[in-house]
Amino acid sequence: MVEGMASERQLVVVVEGTAALGPYWPAIAAEYVEKIVRSFCSTELSGQKLAGVPPELALVVFHTHGPYSAFIVQRSGWTKDMDAFLSWLSGISFSGGGFSEAAICEGLAEALMILQGSSSSSQNHQNRELQKHCLLVAASNPYPLPTPVYRPSVQSSDHKKSNEATKESCLADAEAVAVSFAQCSVSLSVVSPKQLPTLKAIYNAGKRNPQASDPSVDHAKNPHFLVLLSESFMEARTALSHPLPGNLVPNHTITKMDTTPAATVPGPPSNASPSG
């Protein structure tokens, strides 16, 4: 019964799949991403029971341009199974490129198209506001030059009533795509092991309210990390507002990642954009 109903909350996690992020992924996954996902899937928020069906989760993995990446962007399908989604996260393979620039623009554009084009976005929600969130995890700068991407068209109120998702092809950089997140009422949050000004700029471009103050986050164990949470992503703010219990602190040693083929994102049938 629940599986046939549309979710009112959706989250897409966008992860850089290059070797630049690989060494940091165990700590980022355990201390940030998994905590956010578990909070997002919880049936309670700040002591209040949440009604409705489980939220939907999707994964996007992006690499770099050029011949040394098997793909630029790959996506999973939607799932309401939190454990399955966490297994997808643990199965990401990190390899190649990314030590200077990565395809962040394409990754964000793919996430936005997933959120705007899903069946859940167009069914049974005429009278309710969908809560849509995107979490970007990256360790590289975006490519500075505009890249051909698809992004949702900004529709008039008359077109919105038809519930038809439309898209347009355009040349855009990562900041321009981030602006579309705010226009489409999708929150954008960022986690990075590096204090990169370009990632801060992407986050600021995606803010729905530029004047809103950034929520404080407890990451004393990783003071060099960049953790920027959207003011509207309450589940993420709740998840990271207090330290981990002592017995749940993850091992900080750098580990070698799974060496499965880089083009594989575990989970439902996915679509990949081949590297040019």
Provide the token pair at 59: 């994964």
What DSSP state is assigned to residue 92? -
Q: 263 CB contacts (<8 Å, ≥6 apart)?
A: 70, 71, 74, 272
Looking at residue 53, its pLDDT comes to 78
Cβ(40)–Cβ(233) below 8 Å:
no
In whole angstroms, what is the distance from residue 268 CA to residue 7 CA? 18
Cβ(189)–Cβ(134) below 8 Å:
yes
Q: Residue 182: exposed, middle, or buried by beta-carbon count in 10 A (0-12, 13-18, 19+)? A: middle
Give the CA radius of gyration of the chain: 18
The type of residue at 253 is T
In whole angstroms, what is the distance from residue 178 CA to residue 97 CA? 23
Starting at the edge strand that comes first in sequence, how are the strands of the sheet with 71-75 ordered? 226-228, 186-192, 131-137, 9-16, 56-62, 71-75, 271-274
> Would you give per-residue pLDDT tens digits along the chain (276 residues)?
344 556 789 999 999 999 999 999 999 999 999 999 999 998 766 556 666 678 999 999 999 998 878 889 999 999 999 999 999 999 999 998 766 899 999 999 999 999 988 544 444 444 456 899 999 999 999 999 999 998 787 654 444 444 455 778 889 999 999 999 999 999 999 999 999 999 999 999 999 887 777 666 766 678 899 999 999 999 999 998 855 444 344 433 333 323 333 334 555 445 666 555
Q: Is 248 helix (H, G, I), strand (E, B) or coil?
A: helix
According to DSSP, the residues that pair with 273 across neighbouring strands are 73
pTM greater than 0.85 (yes/no): no
In whole angstroms, what is the distance from residue 136 CA to residue 12 CA? 9
Domain annotation for the chain: domains and CATH numbers: 7-274 (3.40.50.410)
